[in-house]
Structure 1
Amino acid sequence: MNSAGRRRSAAVGAAAALTLLATAGCGSSATRQAAPPAPSPTSAAPAPSNGLALPSGLPGGLPSLNDLKKWKFSDWDNWAKQHAIPQAVKGFWNLQKMLQAKPSDPVVQPQQPTDGGTDPLPAPLPAQAIAHPYAQNAVDGKVFFDVAPGKHAVCSATVISDPQHPGKSNLIWTAGHCLTSGKSGQQYSNIAFVPAFNSSGAVSGGKQVDNQGQFAPFGVWDATAGISSPQWYAEGGETGGPASQYDFAIIRVQSQDGSGKSLEETVGGSVPVWFNAPRDQLKINAVGYPAAPPFDGMEMEHCDGGQATRLSFDTSRPAMDVIGCGMTAGSSGGGWFALRNGKPALVSNTSIGPEESGWLAGPYLDDVAQSALDYISKKG
């Protein structure tokens, strides 16, 4: 999922053979190669040995989940300073570059992914196109970024509420692999968010337009900061594994027009994040911009996935949620929503899914995710 032009497979115990889709060049010409087995889902993943620097005062190696849940603002701040994202080039993205961007969605070739051998796969569900214009889905959009000079990539994302700036959020939620490669240490560049991309349908069906307002009705928003989980930074890579269980990212953006108006005010709303949600009670709806065949990335799609099942690579970490959904590469980072007090709340994001589309898996958002949002909210 995080390097150009190839897919790899990984075993999850004896239960599943999993692959993640390459960030770029992951169309029908991509090839798959065998990868080393991932850690058994019945044992904890070993600490990384890649020299990853941690905030001062913490033990070497990847901190435990209990340690992470105790991190203070200063710990997250030290961590973030070591993983600062490159400043986006203002005006970098035009329609031609956006159309060249290749999807960055993880996909999976499953046999029977389970959590402890108990959960069956959900029934496959087709993705359904959302009708133009995207007036009710303006909080959803596309994230564009460069994985290398001239190599443009794309994910999906959602405008989320900012606890420290109610009504004036400039935060989006996406997948960790849409921000950084993970353990290889590459921070992607020229990260930008386009809410309600192609809301009018102006670029549907291969049509070309000259006016940015026709495909970016709320403008292009450049990233100024971003944070993912320490698990993703330390372990994330091209194949499914324990890091996928913490494959999320929060990005702060700013408008290019200099108006000072927030993203939330511009699109007309935001979605709160529901941490530690009672998942046995959730009916999940997923949204994204799938770009691999049979889709072309121009249309916003959704899946009413319903009740989720479970998938674990490492049972010491919260199991991922799995829903039936036919979205393909390009939908990575797209929001998963459930009703809380009658209103939508974000409960996860697309992380991995089958190579032959039919279901998607997303991380369960626990205290670590909540601490990351609290940090970037206060930092802003």
Structure 2
Amino acid sequence: MSPHRAALITLVAALSVLGLTVPAHAVGGSAEAVSAAAYWTPERMRAAVPLDRIAVSAKKVRTVQSSAATAAPVVIAPAAYPSGGAAWTGGGAVVKTAGRVFFTYQGRDASCSGDAVTSANKSTVLTAGHCVKLDGAYHANWVFVPAYDNGAAPHGKWAARATFATPQWDAGEDIDYDIGAAVVGPLNGALLTDVVGGQGVAFNQPKAQNMYAFGYPAAAPYDGTKLIYCSGRTFSAFLSSGVGMTCDMTGGSSGGPWFQSFDEATGLGVQNSVNSYKISILPFWMFGPYFGADAQNLYNTAAAA
């Protein structure tokens, strides 16, 4: 990370146009997938702790150095926001494409959020980088549970056969590139997006636009049982190269999708970021990484795997 960027933030965690190879972590064969799915019993899923809370309790926090850190962040004046965090009751496609992500991190059961996206392999899930790898190691027992329902998996538990991160996250866990992906194996002979559908993905879009963010926050005041959303106009982040939104989602929402052109009637949108981090002194804002060339390379690599 740049030495010119100072505020405490908390994680909420091939071919390329740049000639970079996207790091991948091969999970294993079908036997391991069955084992991972079996590991996540309803009781374990209910008891899983948001990764963000585990990381903070272990004093695993990210610091960003900023030459303007001592100045009040008055340069950002976002417009009024329709929703800073509420249960999604609109139905539509997002209810099935969004879900909770479960994995083991340093031997502890943890959770994040994720989203099924359209892809050539019909098996790609986008999430945050720290939801696939943190503190130098990729997570184990990784599964995606679309439409998670308080311990129930109405559309199955989809175990990863490979997980991916941007080169910058893989090498140094750079918060500017906190983007991850998983390719899940088939379940009962079917592929993920044939069962739950998929959202579109866009890259290199304007930072200021109307967007919706979704996730399964599991830290107070939320409990991980409901799909929560925020909506409003995004703005350029001032401690990273990403984007921000007024949103009070908490730990466990990391990796949940941000959509542009979201249609409340159909629940369809175009994914353009993920929940990534919050600044401890500004809990009413959520920040996500900018989906530029590196995010596009990550998506292309995962979608073709």
Q: Normalised by the size of structure 2, how large is the TM-score? A: 0.81
CA distance in 2, matches of 1:121, 1:175: 26
Structure 2 counterpart of 1:339: 261
CA contact (8 A) 1:245 1:312 kept: no
What residue is the counterpart of 2:51 in the other structure?
104
CA shift at 1:248, angstroms?
0.5
1:207-356 matched pairs, under 5 angstroms: 215-236=152-173, 243-256=174-187, 259-267=188-196, 269-280=197-208, 282-313=209-240, 319-339=241-261, 344-355=269-280
Q: 1:17 aligns with which of 3, 7, 10?
A: 7
* Letter of the 1:104 counterpart: L
Partner of residue 154, structure 1: 111
Residue aligning to 2:299? 373
- Cα shift at 1:354: 3.1
Q: Secondary structure at the match of 2:39?
A: coil
- TM-score (norm: length of structure 1): 0.66
Q: CA RMSD in A?
A: 3.3
Query: Which residue of 2 is the match for residue 144 of structure 1?
Result: 102
The reply to whether residue 171 of structure 1 matches residue 161 of structure 2 is no
Q: Which of 106, 109, 130 in structure 1 is aligned with 2:88?
A: 130
Closer/same/farther in 2, CA of residues 85 and 332 from structure 1, 3 Å limit: same
Q: Deviations over 1:51-109 (max 9, x none)?
A: xxxx9xxxxxxxxxxx964327xx44xx43xx434644241111111112111248999
1:133 positional shift: 6.5
Deviation at residue 135 of structure 1 after TM alignment? 6.0
Check conservation: 1:271, 1:344, Cα contact below 8 A. yes
Aligned equivalents of 2:169 and 2:63: distance in 1? Answer: 21
Higher strand share: 2
Gap change, CA 1:119 and 1:245, over 3 Å in 2: farther
Q: Supply the AA of the counterpart residue of 1:70.
A: L
The code of the aligned residue for 2:39 comes to: F
Cα distance 1:344–1:22, how it changes in 2: closer, same or farther (>3 A)? Answer: closer
Cα pair 1:156 1:331 within 8 Å, conserved: yes
Alpha-carbon spacing, 1:108–1:180, altered in 2? closer, same or farther (3 Å): closer
User: What do the CA deviations read for 1:287-339 (whole angstroms, capped 9, x no partner)?
Assistant: 001111111111110001323232344xxxxx100110011111000000011
Residue 180 of structure 1 aligns with an amino acid whose one-letter code is K
Offset from partner CA, 1:116-137 (integer Å, 9 cap, x none): x884264785311112877652
Tell me by how many angstroms 1:113 deviates: 6.9
* Aligned residue type for 2:7: A
Contact 1:273/1:347 (<8 A) preserved:
yes
Task: Assess, with a 3 A threshold, how the Cα gap between structure 1 residues 357 and 338 changes in structure 2: closer, same or farther.
Answer: same
Deviation per CA, 1:127-177, whole angstroms, max 9, x where unpaired? Answer: 11112877652100000000133x100000000110x24xxx111100000
Q: Deviations over 1:268-299 (max 9, x none)?
A: x211110111233x211000011111111111
Structure possessing the higher relative contact order (Cα contacts under 8 Å, 6 or more residues apart): 2
Conservation of the 8 A alpha-carbon contact between 2:234 and 2:243: no
Equivalent pair of 1:121/1:309 in contact (CA under 8 Å): no
- Residue-pair matches, total: 283
What is the one-letter code of the residue matched to 2:261? L
Provide the secondary structure at the position in 1 that maps to 2:84: coil
The answer to whether the 8 A contact 1:180-1:188 is kept is yes
1:93 aligns with 2:30: no
CA distance 1:327–1:11, shift in 2 (3 Å) = farther
Which has the greater radius of gyration?
Answer: 1
Percent identity of equivalent pairs:
31
Structure 2 equivalent of residue 47 of structure 1: none
Q: Distance in 2 between matches of 1:288 and 1:303?
A: 9
Question: Residues 196-216 of structure 1, C-alpha deviation per residue, up to 9 Å, x if partnerless?
Answer: 111xxxx4xxxxxxxx7xx21
Give the whole-Å Cα distance in 1 for the aligned partners of 2:101 and 2:45: 10
Correspondence for 2:57: none
Residues 288 and 221 of structure 1, relative CA distance in 2, 3 Å threshold: same
Residues 217-243 of structure 1 deviation map (CA, whole Å, 9 limit, x = unaligned) = 10110010111111111111xxxxxx1
